[in-house]
Amino acid sequence: MRTGEVFALTWNDIDLESRIIKVNKTVYAKNKNPIGRWYIGTTKTEGSEREIYICDTLYSILFNYKEQQDRNRKKFGKKYKKYSLEKIKNKYGKVVEYVIAESKVRKDEVDMVFTKNDGTYSGTDVIKYPFKIIRNELGIKARFYDLRGSFATTSLRNGCEIKDIAEVLGHRRIETTEKYYISSTEKDKIQVAKSFEKSLKIFNNII
Protein backbone atom coordinates (compact mmCIF):
# COMPACT_ATOMS: atom_id res chain seq x y z
CA MET A 1 0.00 0.00 0.00
CA ARG A 2 1.04 3.59 -0.55
CA THR A 3 2.02 5.52 2.58
CA GLY A 4 -1.11 7.68 2.50
CA GLU A 5 -3.32 4.63 1.99
CA VAL A 6 -1.88 2.88 5.03
CA PHE A 7 -2.38 5.78 7.42
CA ALA A 8 -5.86 6.55 6.10
CA LEU A 9 -7.09 3.15 7.28
CA THR A 10 -9.91 2.90 9.79
CA TRP A 11 -10.92 -0.33 11.49
CA ASN A 12 -14.01 -0.37 9.27
CA ASP A 13 -11.65 -0.91 6.34
CA ILE A 14 -10.17 -4.05 7.89
CA ASP A 15 -12.22 -7.25 7.97
CA LEU A 16 -10.22 -9.64 10.12
CA GLU A 17 -12.84 -12.36 9.77
CA SER A 18 -12.71 -12.35 5.97
CA ARG A 19 -9.04 -11.31 6.01
CA ILE A 20 -9.53 -8.38 3.65
CA ILE A 21 -8.26 -4.77 3.71
CA LYS A 22 -10.35 -2.34 1.67
CA VAL A 23 -8.23 0.42 0.15
CA ASN A 24 -10.51 3.32 -0.80
CA LYS A 25 -8.91 6.57 0.44
CA THR A 26 -5.67 8.32 1.25
CA VAL A 27 -4.47 10.79 3.88
CA TYR A 28 -2.36 13.89 3.37
CA ALA A 29 -1.27 16.93 5.36
CA LYS A 30 -2.17 20.55 4.72
CA ASN A 31 -1.40 23.78 6.53
CA LYS A 32 -2.99 23.37 9.93
CA ASN A 33 -6.32 25.09 10.43
CA PRO A 34 -8.36 25.32 13.65
CA ILE A 35 -9.99 21.97 12.86
CA GLY A 36 -6.96 19.86 11.99
CA ARG A 37 -3.98 19.23 9.72
CA TRP A 38 -4.74 15.81 8.25
CA TYR A 39 -7.16 15.34 5.38
CA ILE A 40 -8.81 12.32 3.81
CA GLY A 41 -9.33 12.20 0.07
CA THR A 42 -9.78 9.74 -2.76
CA THR A 43 -7.08 7.29 -3.80
CA LYS A 44 -4.44 8.29 -6.34
CA THR A 45 -6.45 6.81 -9.23
CA GLU A 46 -9.71 4.90 -9.65
CA GLY A 47 -7.63 1.76 -10.17
CA SER A 48 -6.05 2.30 -6.77
CA GLU A 49 -9.29 1.28 -5.03
CA ARG A 50 -8.84 -2.39 -4.29
CA GLU A 51 -9.01 -5.21 -1.76
CA ILE A 52 -5.88 -6.75 -0.31
CA TYR A 53 -5.73 -10.21 1.25
CA ILE A 54 -4.42 -10.40 4.82
CA CYS A 55 -1.80 -13.15 5.15
CA ASP A 56 -1.24 -15.08 8.40
CA THR A 57 1.64 -12.87 9.58
CA LEU A 58 -0.25 -9.63 9.01
CA TYR A 59 -3.41 -11.10 10.56
CA SER A 60 -1.52 -11.89 13.78
CA ILE A 61 0.03 -8.40 13.88
CA LEU A 62 -3.28 -6.59 13.29
CA PHE A 63 -5.20 -8.80 15.72
CA ASN A 64 -2.70 -8.21 18.54
CA TYR A 65 -2.44 -4.51 17.71
CA LYS A 66 -6.23 -4.12 17.85
CA GLU A 67 -6.34 -5.79 21.27
CA GLN A 68 -3.56 -3.48 22.53
CA GLN A 69 -5.41 -0.44 21.20
CA ASP A 70 -8.59 -1.55 22.98
CA ARG A 71 -6.63 -1.88 26.22
CA ASN A 72 -5.21 1.61 25.74
CA ARG A 73 -8.69 2.97 25.17
CA LYS A 74 -9.80 1.55 28.54
CA LYS A 75 -6.61 2.70 30.26
CA PHE A 76 -6.92 6.34 29.17
CA GLY A 77 -10.70 6.45 29.47
CA LYS A 78 -12.09 9.93 28.80
CA LYS A 79 -8.58 11.19 27.99
CA TYR A 80 -8.35 8.87 24.98
CA LYS A 81 -8.43 11.01 21.81
CA LYS A 82 -11.49 10.76 19.56
CA TYR A 83 -11.83 11.90 15.96
CA SER A 84 -14.51 12.48 13.37
CA LEU A 85 -14.45 13.32 9.67
CA GLU A 86 -15.61 16.85 8.90
CA LYS A 87 -16.80 17.46 5.32
CA ILE A 88 -14.94 20.00 3.18
CA LYS A 89 -17.03 21.32 0.30
CA ASN A 90 -16.05 23.30 -2.77
CA LYS A 91 -17.83 26.46 -3.90
CA TYR A 92 -20.48 24.35 -5.62
CA GLY A 93 -21.36 22.52 -2.42
CA LYS A 94 -19.74 19.24 -3.46
CA VAL A 95 -17.79 17.30 -0.81
CA VAL A 96 -14.20 17.10 -2.07
CA GLU A 97 -12.39 15.86 1.02
CA TYR A 98 -12.64 15.40 4.78
CA VAL A 99 -10.54 16.79 7.59
CA ILE A 100 -9.75 14.51 10.54
CA ALA A 101 -10.97 16.61 13.46
CA GLU A 102 -10.66 15.91 17.16
CA SER A 103 -14.05 15.21 18.65
CA LYS A 104 -15.31 15.43 22.22
CA VAL A 105 -18.15 12.97 21.72
CA ARG A 106 -18.39 9.45 20.31
CA LYS A 107 -21.09 10.44 17.84
CA ASP A 108 -19.81 9.99 14.27
CA GLU A 109 -16.44 8.90 15.68
CA VAL A 110 -13.97 7.51 13.15
CA ASP A 111 -11.79 4.71 14.48
CA MET A 112 -8.34 5.34 12.96
CA VAL A 113 -6.05 2.31 12.93
CA PHE A 114 -2.64 3.86 13.49
CA THR A 115 -2.58 6.10 16.55
CA LYS A 116 -0.41 6.75 19.57
CA ASN A 117 -1.17 5.02 22.87
CA ASP A 118 -3.55 7.79 23.96
CA GLY A 119 -5.40 7.70 20.62
CA THR A 120 -3.62 10.73 19.14
CA TYR A 121 -3.61 10.60 15.37
CA SER A 122 -0.39 11.87 13.80
CA GLY A 123 -0.84 10.75 10.21
CA THR A 124 2.29 9.75 8.33
CA ASP A 125 4.48 11.58 10.87
CA VAL A 126 4.54 8.40 12.94
CA ILE A 127 7.12 6.83 10.59
CA LYS A 128 9.50 9.80 10.43
CA TYR A 129 11.55 8.86 13.49
CA PRO A 130 12.11 5.15 12.74
CA PHE A 131 13.13 5.90 9.15
CA LYS A 132 15.44 8.65 10.40
CA ILE A 133 17.17 5.97 12.51
CA ILE A 134 17.33 3.65 9.48
CA ARG A 135 19.00 6.35 7.37
CA ASN A 136 21.30 8.00 9.91
CA GLU A 137 22.35 5.11 12.14
CA LEU A 138 22.11 2.13 9.79
CA GLY A 139 23.15 4.04 6.69
CA ILE A 140 20.29 2.65 4.60
CA LYS A 141 18.77 5.18 2.23
CA ALA A 142 15.16 4.05 2.30
CA ARG A 143 11.65 5.43 2.61
CA PHE A 144 8.49 3.71 3.79
CA TYR A 145 7.24 3.98 0.20
CA ASP A 146 10.24 1.98 -1.05
CA LEU A 147 8.79 -1.12 0.61
CA ARG A 148 6.34 -1.30 -2.30
CA GLY A 149 9.24 -1.94 -4.66
CA SER A 150 10.69 -4.58 -2.34
CA PHE A 151 7.30 -6.28 -2.21
CA ALA A 152 6.94 -6.24 -6.00
CA THR A 153 10.43 -7.57 -6.68
CA THR A 154 10.25 -10.31 -4.03
CA SER A 155 6.81 -11.43 -5.20
CA LEU A 156 7.95 -11.62 -8.83
CA ARG A 157 11.10 -13.58 -7.92
CA ASN A 158 8.92 -16.02 -5.96
CA GLY A 159 6.87 -16.82 -9.04
CA CYS A 160 3.86 -14.49 -8.76
CA GLU A 161 2.31 -13.15 -11.96
CA ILE A 162 3.13 -9.53 -12.78
CA LYS A 163 -0.57 -8.80 -13.40
CA ASP A 164 -1.51 -9.96 -9.90
CA ILE A 165 1.30 -7.92 -8.34
CA ALA A 166 0.16 -4.82 -10.25
CA GLU A 167 -3.41 -5.21 -8.99
CA VAL A 168 -2.29 -5.56 -5.38
CA LEU A 169 -0.15 -2.43 -5.76
CA GLY A 170 -3.08 -0.53 -7.27
CA HIS A 171 -1.61 -0.12 -10.76
CA ARG A 172 -3.95 -0.14 -13.73
CA ARG A 173 -1.10 -0.90 -16.13
CA ILE A 174 1.49 -3.62 -15.55
CA GLU A 175 4.03 -1.43 -17.38
CA THR A 176 4.07 0.88 -14.37
CA THR A 177 4.93 -2.02 -12.09
CA GLU A 178 7.62 -3.33 -14.43
CA LYS A 179 9.27 0.05 -15.04
CA TYR A 180 9.24 1.61 -11.59
CA TYR A 181 8.82 -1.16 -9.00
CA ILE A 182 10.79 -4.21 -10.14
CA SER A 183 14.50 -3.95 -9.38
CA SER A 184 17.33 -6.03 -10.80
CA THR A 185 20.68 -6.84 -9.21
CA GLU A 186 23.83 -8.49 -10.55
CA LYS A 187 22.84 -11.61 -8.64
CA ASP A 188 19.46 -11.63 -10.42
CA LYS A 189 21.14 -11.37 -13.83
CA ILE A 190 23.52 -14.22 -13.01
CA GLN A 191 20.54 -16.31 -11.91
CA VAL A 192 18.88 -15.70 -15.30
CA ALA A 193 21.91 -17.17 -17.07
CA LYS A 194 22.07 -20.14 -14.69
CA SER A 195 18.36 -20.79 -15.08
CA PHE A 196 18.68 -20.82 -18.86
CA GLU A 197 21.69 -23.14 -18.65
CA LYS A 198 19.69 -25.50 -16.44
CA SER A 199 16.88 -25.54 -19.00
CA LEU A 200 19.37 -26.41 -21.77
CA LYS A 201 20.74 -29.33 -19.76
CA ILE A 202 17.23 -30.67 -19.14
CA PHE A 203 16.43 -30.29 -22.86
CA ASN A 204 19.64 -32.11 -23.90
CA ASN A 205 18.91 -34.95 -21.50
CA ILE A 206 15.46 -35.41 -23.03
CA ILE A 207 16.99 -35.61 -26.51
C-alpha to C-alpha distance for 114 and 68, rounded to whole angstroms: 12
Tell me the pLDDT tens digit for each residue of 142-151: 889 999 998 9
Residue in 84, 132, 79, 90 with CA at minimum distance from that of residue 108 = 84
3-class DSSP state for residue 55?
Answer: coil
Query: Which letter does DSSP use for residue 141 in this model?
Result: -
Query: Which letter does DSSP use for residue 145 in this model?
Result: G
Whether 44 and 111 share a structural domain: yes
Whether 104 and 20 share a structural domain: yes
Residue 133 lies in a domain: no
Structural domains of the chain, count: 2
Whether 90 and 170 share a structural domain: no
Residue 175 lies in a domain: yes
Mean of the per-residue pLDDT values of the chain:
89
Whether 192 and 97 share a structural domain: no
Residue 129 lies in a domain: no
Q: What does the pLDDT read at residue 105?
A: 66
**Is residue 195 classed exposed, middle or buried when 0-12, 13-18 and 19+ CB atoms within 10 A define those classes?**
exposed
- Where is pLDDT greater, at 190 or 102? 102
Residue 61 lies in a domain: yes
Of 122, 152, 175, which marks where a domain is finished? 122
Q: 29: which strand partners?
A: 38
- Where is pLDDT greater, at 203 or 88? 88
**Which residue range(s) make up the domain with 193?**
143-207
Mean pLDDT value across residues 102-115: 84
